[in-house]
Amino acid sequence: MISNNILSFAKSVLCEVLHPGCIGVDATVGNGYDTVFLSEKAGPDGHVFGFDIQEDAVNQTEQRLNEECLPANWTIFHSGHENMLELIPSEFHGRVNAVMFNLGFLPGSDKTVITKSKTTLAAIEASLDLLAKGGMLCIAIYAGHPGGDDEDVAVREYCNALDYHTYRVIQSEMINKPGHPIRMLFVTKL
């Protein structure tokens, strides 16, 4: 059942643009679950680029990818996602099918290490440059933690202002979750 978990719901939507040989970016690898999903979808002829500022997250993701016996179709950078345009080789620019952001902090880890509005917006802008036509950016937004509300507003304002003739933005929310809703933005490049 995909609809009891908004992240599973997001993956089911992303499947529309993922296919063997596709190019994916996991902008916040964390424990590596989304990276594994993208690597599986890309298969041996595709590629996945991942980013995280925490060394533990990078190590854990690489370990998970190795344990899952996935093809060697991934490159994980121990770097902020705001640097993706410089770090992803230019031959992939304009060819990326999906970019995933899972904002906030890594559950079970240091809750003071969070994604921040300024770098998140820089990375979203870079992602839009990297996307192929028909490609999709997916952003999971969590409010309620220190810094989270500002980021939630900033990301939605940015996406709200994207040109309708170039991008389509769809927002989904788990609205009956106690506390703050989890928001999911899907941005498709036309």
Ligand X SMILES: C[S@@+](CC[C@H](N)C(=O)[O-])C[C@H]1O[C@@H](n2cnc3c(N)ncnc32)[C@H](O)[C@@H]1O
Q: Which residues bind ligand X (CB under 6 A)?
A: 28-34, 51-54, 57, 80-82, 102, 104, 106, 113, 115, 119
CA-based torsion, 35, 90, 96, 27: positive or negative: positive
Helix axes 33-42, 55-67, angle to 10 degrees: 40
CB of 122 to ligand X, least distance (A): 9
C-alpha 32/C-alpha 113 separation (Å) is 16
Least spacing, CB of residue 107 vs ligand X, in Å = 7
Q: Write down the least CB distance from residue 90 to ligand X, Å.
A: 20
Q: Which is nearer to ligand X, 28 or 97 (CB)?
A: 28
What element of type H or E holds 87? helix 84-87
Of 119 and 171, CB closest to ligand X = 119
- Three-class DSSP category at 143: coil
Radius of gyration for the chain, computed over Cα atoms and rounded to the nearest angstrom: 15
Q: Residue 14 or 106: which CB sits closer to ligand X?
A: 106
Nearer to ligand X, 97 or 115 (CB): 115
